Structure 1
């Protein structure tokens, strides 16, 4: 709730101070009934509640950061050239800053990788396109994810954060404590202060072009949701745009652009909850079926290409026997 209130305040400041809208018009834009009560938005609200209930039951069954961190921590003891607590005497401030920056960067980079894979691999896209099926975006759209995607991202977070925690605990010893955790929380708060919750909204907040090479602006993520051909597979980053810049998927925001969100007509989801939750399983089954069909045709093609040679060889052998 606090982040939602913060989101409204940031949008209000942006519209009034930067876009020079009147206070009344800004409120009307933020609370646009056509968007907040559209069929797509209503589906978002339902998915949010259902996924929260699902998470309550599935979370205890997933691997936790602590389990991975503990396993890796003890595994590091078996590496001969590593010395436990070698940097334990480092100043607390440096440890907090280093741990905070490292875990945030590692976490963000793994989010970028998984997000990119979800667009590249058909089996994962069948799951992820539930998120892209939103035709209007609100801050709740960020929760418009299929439960399978939620599980995948939870495992990603456990591996990324658990690994970082284990390495720091091994190298810095007991100096990695509550202060380092608080540092990460502060970093997360600053991230939300930059308007991250407005990435999924109809309020297009842009950064300066040079900054959009470093940080993903809300407007850039809205470009990512656009169905326009030139926006296809762009801006996978969550916090940092550097990853997109390095790997060729960066697209800067566009002023006064009218973006259309959703999926291509050939793969569009309905806003019915049953379609949103069960359609991905149908799509995944089709992907697997196509893969097996291609594999079978390839095997049959190789077998049939070898058959004439085998027959010819057999014929030669038969004739040789007859001659004898």
Structure 2
């Protein structure tokens, strides 16, 4: 009985910890990021009502546009089983992932940094960077932050591209694309193996870059931060980040969408329309998609449909299936490599 009580206490404390994400600036669900997303959603709502456009129809619809709450929480989304699966999976995945993935990115960064610098400690280098001050040091820190995130996003773009193009990796990444409707919790519909590959590669790449910067400058600059979050990432998060996984279509005007990431950019990436498959791999800087000709952003979302083309909904309709079906499918790929075409796409 005592064991059961301890177990229940552990899960209760974990649920409380996850709910605490609302007050953690480093988490995507931080209340300020959610509120700014609601602000952008309200702007979209006002534009729709002025135009008499009803709702953003392609990606799940915007529901009853006669009220903002109906627009923000449409029945088409919240009556769909996929929406509630994302809520269940959020807690399930966070619990499992907390133990499997804790420290992977930091560990890979520290290893790669030591490799470049001849064994120096990344933590010690970061501490020394904190004590430097003055206009010159701040300018260097600002430039370092910009270059860091540009290069990190290039690494992320490359990994993301491979997650779509390498058949075995796609089986695990497909979990994220299996959502048929989206809301902010859909961001967390990810397989641990998918996370592991991504975080390990990003961590190692970031560590190599930081090591090279430390060798060049003689120290590791500290990025300017807001609420403990690097300034550039903070700005990214408050610019409607939580609408990236939602039904609300927000596209920056003109060519700005090729420079700054809009929620619409990621909506197209999740779309299974033939024109949208294998498009928009970039995370923070769509310019990588422009350079490598994977950029696609229509004027509206009439053709945007979330999900994986050709996949039966029941294939991934539970938390356990989201975890174990990718292992089965990946094993089949490995046993029959002749069926795994190098250029496979989500539609196939």
Tell me whether the two structures share a fold, i.e. TM-score over 0.5.
yes
Moved more, 53-62 or 161-170: 53-62
Matched residues in 2 for 1:178 and 1:117: separation? Answer: 29
Q: Is 1:200 aligned to 2:228, yes or no?
A: no
Counterpart selection for 2:320 from 252, 274, 280: 274
How many equivalent pairs are there? 284
Alpha-carbon distance in structure 2 between the residues aligned to 1:213 and 1:36: 31
Q: Cα 1:205–1:60, aligned 2, differ >3 Å: closer, same or farther?
A: closer
1:54 aligns with 2:100: no
Structure 1: gaps spanning 5 or more residues: 77-84, 295-324
Aligned to 1:4: 34
Instruction: After TM superposition, give the deviation of residue 173 of structure 1 in Å.
Output: 2.8
1:73 and 2:117 equivalent? yes
Distance 1:48 1:192 in 2: 19
What does residue 290 of structure 1 align with?
336
The answer as to whether partners of 1:233 and 1:249 remain within 8 angstroms in 2 is yes
Pair 1:123-2:165 in alignment: no
Aligned to 2:10: none
1:45 corresponds, among 62, 87, 101, to 87
Which whole-Å CA distance do the structure 2 matches of 1:159 and 1:75 have between them? 15
Q: How far off its partner does 1:248 sit?
A: 1.2
Relative to structure 1, is the Cα distance of residues 179 and 272 closer, same or farther in structure 2, using a 3 angstrom cutoff? closer
Contact 2:85/2:318 (8 A) holds in 1: yes
Distance apart, 1:18 and its partner CA: 7.0
Structure showing greater radius of gyration is 1
Q: Is the CA contact 1:126–1:280 (under 8 Å) kept in the aligned structure 2?
A: yes
> How big is each residue's C-alpha offset from its partner over 1:111-142, in whole Å with a ceiling of 9 and x where there is no partner?
11111111111011101110110000111111
Q: CA RMSD in A?
A: 2.9
Quick check: which one's helix share is greater?
1
Aligned to 1:322: none
Give CA-to-partner distance per residue, 1:260-317, whole Å, 9 cap, x none. Answer: 21112246533122221111011101111112799xxxxxxxxxxxxxxxxxxxxxxx
Structure 2: stretches of 5+ with no match in the other structure: 1-21, 23-30, 53-64, 121-128, 341-348
Over 3 Å counting, the alpha-carbon distance change for 1:123 and 1:181 in structure 2 is: farther
3-state secondary structure, aligned to 1:265: coil
- CA distance 1:128–1:59, shift in 2 (3 Å): closer
Checking the alignment, whether the CA contact within 8 Å between 2:100 and 2:192 is kept in structure 1 is no
Cross-structure match for 2:74:
32
Does 119-128 or 23-32 show the bigger shift?
23-32
Provide the residue aligned with 2:28 in structure 1: none
